[in-house]
Amino acid sequence: MKRIEFHNREPETKEIRNILDAEPSLITFIYGPINSGKTTLVNHLIGQLPDEYVPFYVNLRGRFITGYEDFLNVLFEIDEGGVIDNVSEYAQSLIKDLKILSGIPIPLNLFEQIFEKKDKSKDMFKYIERFLDEMSKKRVPVLIIDELQVIGDLKINGLLIYKLFNFFIRLTKEKHLAHVFVVTSDSLFIEQVYSEAMLSGRSRHILVDDFDYATTMDFLDKYGFSHEEKELAWEYCGGKPVYLMELIHTKISDENIEEKVHEMFEVRKSQIRMVINELRLIGDELEYKGKKIEITEERVIDALNSLLNTEYNSYEMASIEEIYLVKKNILFVDAISGVLKPQSKLDLLAVREVVGNA
Ligand SMILES: Nc1ncnc2c1ncn2[C@@H]1O[C@H](COP(=O)(O)OP(=O)(O)OP(=O)(O)O)[C@@H](O)[C@H]1O
Ligand SMILES: [Mg+2]
């Protein structure tokens, strides 16, 4: 199968490069609608970093994390190469050869020590800090956690996420030891983070949205789309990379783009209909800010109806049904610019047809 090349993310790349050029001082949150290309961008970037940087990329997606033990297993890369007690010497021995890592290296014996401790978090953070401190004498550590919301509710002597945020603040603003990036596709998580007092003045946010019109056209041009095919793609899929990839594969296999677009549209409509049908048949509840709220089909349809005439709504005015639709991945909330909008162009059109015909 032909590989599809990474496509232009210049503004976002520039913004992140500027951050990396400066001394670490804030936690950077990278957010955006589902499938907008956040993970791809970050991976592309770290693949191109000069040797001066050491990226640690930890992805929590699909990881089953129910306690500290699971978290430690994801966060660390265990090194079984013998007994080592001196963290500084260990870090020094690795400095030269480290490439991209999917966890913080730790000798097995030290990992086991942390496991045995009662207050694991204290020791875990102490180890990472010492390790990064040593690394930072020669290279610039870049810590990236993808899908951090996975541990958003994990409680072990209080919420783990707060301890992590405190630790990230220490690594950035206080000690300037490492760059910290948190990537997430959960827009309600970003909304929480944004209003979190402890992060105020200590974090920044970068939106990675679907491609704009010009970037989408350029992308499709590379694969020989006709003018009509490009316009059709934009009309239905907007600049959502994952959908464009599907269309590019269709094009490469010499199949019909129009049929593919309609197939994707039908699939999305039926998924949205299923959400509504389920509400009608069994109803649902939403737990939001500690309260359980009943969700009704009628009010969800009312909320969707508001998309018949507009593509955007103000987030400040969001109803509980709209929050529910965010949870169902139909709407996306951008708490930073205060906008509530469909997750994609396809969602917008599908919603319009589903409720318009209801
Ligand atoms: N800049 C790009 N150039 C080419 N393809 C891209 C680009 N960005 C994303 N894609 C493709 O789009 C798909 C979705 O991208 P990716 O998984 O990075 O999105 P995401 O925003 O991290 O998604 P999620 O919200 O699920 O975390 C991938 O298959 C990827 O190959
Ligand atoms: Mg991702």
pLDDT confidence tier of residue 62, bands split at 50, 70 and 90: confident
Query: Ligand 1, closest atom to CA 43?
Result: 18
Nearest atom (ligand 1) to Cα of 244:
12
Return all residues near 128 (Cβ < 8 A) that are at least 6 apart: 104, 167
- Ligand 2 centroid from CA 144, angstroms: 12
pLDDT of residue 59: 95
Centroid of ligand 2 to alpha carbon of 357 (angstroms): 34
Residue 20 has pLDDT above 90, yes or no: yes
- Indicate the CATH number of 258-358 among 3.40.30.10, 1.10.10.10, 1.10.10.60, 3.40.50.920: 1.10.10.10
DSSP 3-state of 294: strand
Q: pLDDT by residue (tens digit) across 301-322? A: 999 998 988 888 888 778 999 9
Give, in order, the Cα–Cα distances in Å from 76 to each of 131, 168, 343, 354. Answer: 12, 16, 33, 46
Give dist(CA 347, CA 185) in Å, integer. Answer: 16
Long-range Cβ contact pairs of 14-18 (< 8 A, separation 24 or more): 15/206, 16/45, 16/181, 16/206, 17/45
Q: Calculate how far, in angstroms, residue 124's C-alpha sits from the geometric centre of ligand 1.
A: 32
H-helix or E-strand containing 44?
Answer: helix 38-47
What's the N-to-C CA distance of the chain in angstroms? 41
Atom of ligand 1 nearest to the CA of 185: 25
Instruction: Determine phi and psi for 325, rounding to 5 degrees.
Output: -70, -25
- Tell me, what amino acid is at 333? V
Take residue 308 and report the two structure tokens written for it. Answer: 């018949």
The CATH homologous superfamily of the domain defined by 10-207: P-loop containing nucleotide triphosphate hydrolases (3.40.50.300)
Q: Where are the domains of the chain?
A: 10-207, 212-255, 258-358
Q: What pLDDT digit, counting tens, does each position of 216-253 carry? A: 999 999 999 999 999 999 999 999 999 999 999 999 99
What mean pLDDT, rounded, does the chain reach?
A: 92
CA of 24 to the centre of ligand 2 (A): 23
Q: Is the pLDDT of residue 1 over 90?
A: no
Residue-wise pLDDT tens digits, 160-169: 899 999 999 9
DSSP characters over 182-236: EEES-HHHHHHHHT-GGGTTTEEEEE--S--HHHHHHHHHTTT--HHHHHHHHHH
207 lines ligand 1 (CB under 6 A): no
Of the ranges 32-41, 63-72, 245-254, 259-268, which one carries the lowest mean pLDDT score?
Answer: 63-72
For 109-141, write each residue's pLDDT tens digit. 999 988 887 777 778 999 999 999 999 999 999
Distance CA 54, CA 81 (A): 21
pLDDT of residue 117: 77
> Residue range 253-273: average pLDDT?
97
Pick from 63, 88, 85, 83: which is nearest to 73 by CA? 63
Q: How far apart are CA 278 and CA 94, in angstroms?
A: 54
Contact call for residues 239 and 212 (beta carbons, < 8 A): yes
